[in-house]
Amino acid sequence: MTEVSRRRIAAGAALLAVVAAGLTVHAAPGSVVTDIVGDALYTVAVYAGLVMLLPRVRPVVLAAVAAAWCVGVELLQLTGLPAAWADAFPPIALVLGLGFDARDLLVSLAAAAVAVGVDLAVRRRLFPRGERPRSPSRRG
């Protein structure tokens, strides 16, 4: 099995676990804690999905993309569109949320940073001899 395949499998397993945890948190009574945990899990799910799609990209780049996505989703909530769409199709609220909360911006950034740390630790475990999936060469 190649290094990239092992990385994708690890990211897929993490994504399944994070989505399950997120759905559990979503079903729990709402509180500040469940809101923060849910937002953090959302960011980690985006990160894990990116690792599955782009396993050769550096973790810090993936974290930046995941954080940017989450910040973008949060800012989209200022328009009221996600809430309107959720009225027509309620599951959209799980993906786009309903209402803006500035705290969620910080949570997304912190969760992306944690995801990088965990990813780097897992990579060291998956590739103990220092073998890391390499980014494609930038030379033509």
Mean pLDDT across 79-102:
92
CA distance 58 to 60: 6
Share of the chain above pLDDT 70, in %: 91
Share of the chain above pLDDT 90, in %: 71
CA distance 89 to 69: 21
pLDDT per position as a tens digit, 39-79 = 999 999 999 999 999 999 999 999 999 999 999 999 999 99
Mean pLDDT across 85-112:
93
Domain residue ranges in the chain: 3-126
Phi, psi of 29 (to 5 degrees): -55, 135
Of the candidates 51, 52, 41, 53, the one whose C-alpha atom is nearest the C-alpha of residue 17 is 41
Identify which has the larger pLDDT, 33 or 139: 33
